[in-house]
Amino acid sequence: MDAPNQVSQQEAAQPTAAPAPAPAGTAAPVDPLAGQTAKQSSSNATEHQSQVRQQYPPPQVDQTQNAQPSASNQQPTQPNPNQQNPAAQQRQRVMARDRYNHQSLGASLNSSVKQARVLMVGAGGIGCELLKNLVLTGFAEIHIVDLDTIDLSNLNRQFLFRQEHIKKSKALVAKDAATKFNPNVKIVAHHANIKDDEFTVSWFKDFSIVFNALDNLEARRHVNKMCLAADVPLIESGTTGFNGQVQVIKKRSTACYDCTPKDTPKSFPVCTIRSTPSQPIHCIVWGKTSEIEELKKESEALKKIRDAVGTNNFPQMLFDKVFHSDIERLRSVEDMWKSRRKPEPLKYETVYTQATEAVASKDQILSDGQRVWTLEENLVVFKDSLDRLSKRMLDLKKAKDPAEAEPIITFDKDDIDTLDFVASGANIRSTIFGIDRKSRFDIKEMAGNIIPAIATTNAIVAGLCVLEAFKVLKGDYGQAKEVFLTPFAAARLLAPDTLRLPNPDCPVCGVFNISIKADLSRATLNDVVEDIVKKQLGFGDKEFVLSNEVGIMYDVDETENLPKKLSDLGIKGGSFLTVVDEDDDEEPFVNIVIDVEDSIIDENDKPVQPKFEGSPKIPRKPTKAAVTNDDANGMQQNGTKTSQPGPETESKGVKRAHPGDDAPPTKKAKLTTDDEDVVVVHDVGGAIVIDDD
């Protein structure tokens, strides 16, 4: 836009060409208006130049630098400090960037961005890209929360981190790296868990927008719950390989993260894991469930092995127990091996005597996680990892308080000690059962439920998050979209979809949220029941249940907790209480979630006080039409009949259905028969839960 004006200024500054002289001997024609025209033209040019100078004033130049110094008073020219100061040049770049933001976003939106206070949870793959975008866009204040530290495997896609940052806090390093992009933005880093007590509902209320950049289902649900309680818009995002998704969540306007059920975790029968593995994943799951803390479950049989933790005999004793004695016991069950290959037990001494070369090159083996180790190399890693874990266990026991529980070491895909143990143990067991061994790199992916992350996918999703944030800042939720990134779909790369409406039966967003302040040093449960629920919320004589995360604290038949202090019941600042209307009304209240804030209240006042004025208008639960015989082949939901789709109507698209659309076919869960025990593999932190009681 500035180029045309600059050209005009240059043209205006050029002198007017003089007319050609008349030939000799010929009198020049006299134009009576020539003098008047020339004067007028000169006056217009002068006036135009004056206007240009006022609109685009030339840079201020020190006249003493341009003037010719006299011979008697000649001084050296002083350099311009702005040309040499990097900080000044950075400020100029920031000012230029803000001008471009003003032009592209508009005055109103750019002003909202510069005043916004945002929270970003997670500083990993999406988080690094998102933080860069937020800083360059000019958001005024950005808070980052991440408990994780930087690992070598992060460097291929998390571009704010470098080799020297390994083992350092992601949040703190990301803050330092992003500040260089725009020093005018205030960045506050929290190396902490978003579920910590310090991050209360009141703390969430101070933000304009919250961005989720997490890879953890449990943390996602927590942030979703806190944003709904604080009534702060949340922009949820996630990637899976080449696929990605961005979703705007606003209380009472859109569906929340928990409005739709999530995929069930993978499961394996315990008998397969323990006795008849046939795939590498079976041996890997066995390795994860057989770590040191699991030895406590077989108290007498493994007492000697437990006592040997930290000694030189410990690796051999454990090896012979799980890879020889237990295998021999399995082989003795003849019926089990009629149709499958018998496992071959291994002896520690036999394998170790063949591992002379592997022992000598231990450091080289441990540094090469991409190659599939031999049996002897796996034994070397098995022994070395047990030595490391044993030392850690002894240190934990020494530092343990007598009143605390026994320390344990749990599997973490980023913990090299536990990863080496699981990888080597799984490979040794695979050898026994004739299963292909895997590299440590592959086992890390399988044990940690890792799906390879793509840097480009993270960048696209982070950009979509900021675009949706602009709509949120303008309050234009009607234009906000739930965007799916599906590069291999038949349709298009980006598939925007209208936001879903809240699910009235959702246990998270289908509730009514309120906040109270309580002096926990003297407030009792009876104060909450009488002063808040019955009086302020208008329950009166209605029957209701009051509970927390642990269980029921009060109902008509459960009154012994009423005189107890809230602190004695485990309630603290940031705790949630849930009120469930159990009266026989045709239209009962929806569930009410009470956020308890710890506060110091004058002794003359009641120890529990509401943070709302008057009596809130609590919505009623929606009525559901009864299912009649005519609906035997369909589902009755909110008075609208939805037919079950047949095979010919199955949706083959990549997007989920909306209310009013035909319901998509649900996945059939794999059922176990004969009350078979099941190992459930959760995607949260790589945890394994065994249900075998």
Active-site residue list: 271
Amino acid at the residue 127: G
The neighbouring-strand residues paired with 236 are 212, 247
Sole residue written with tokens 């997670």 = 122
585, 543 in Cβ contact below 8 A?
Answer: no
- Nearest-5° Cα angle at 432, 430 to 433: 65
591, 512 in Cβ contact below 8 A?
Answer: yes
What is the edge-to-edge ordering of all strands in the sheet holding 678-681?
Answer: 266-269, 678-681, 688-691
Give the C-alpha distances (Å, rounded to integers) separating 176 from 143, 409, 418, 496. 13, 33, 31, 34
**Rounded CA Rg of the chain:** 36
3-state secondary structure of 507: coil
**Cα dihedral sign, 376-387-290-440:** negative
d(CA 377, CA 374): 5
Dig out the tokens for 413 from the structure.
């895909």
d(CA 76, CA 568): 79
d(CA 145, CA 211): 11
**Cα dihedral sign, 601-605-606-611:** negative
d(CA 248, CA 226): 15
Dig out the tokens for 379 from the structure.
């034994």
266-269 and 678-681 strand pairing: antiparallel
302, 295 in Cβ contact below 8 A?
Answer: yes
d(CA 161, CA 377): 33
3-state secondary structure of 210: strand
d(CA 480, CA 465): 11
449, 442 in Cβ contact below 8 A?
Answer: no
689, 411 in Cβ contact below 8 A?
Answer: no
Sole residue written with tokens 């100061």 = 85
Nearest alpha-carbon partner for 287 in 303, 269, 274, 278? 274
Give, rounded to a whole angstrom, the gap between the first and last alpha carbons of the chain.
74
The neighbouring-strand residues paired with 269 are 678
Sole residue written with tokens 């323990």 = 274
d(CA 502, CA 418): 42
3-state secondary structure of 624: coil
Amino acid at the residue 160: L
Sole residue written with tokens 């070395």 = 384
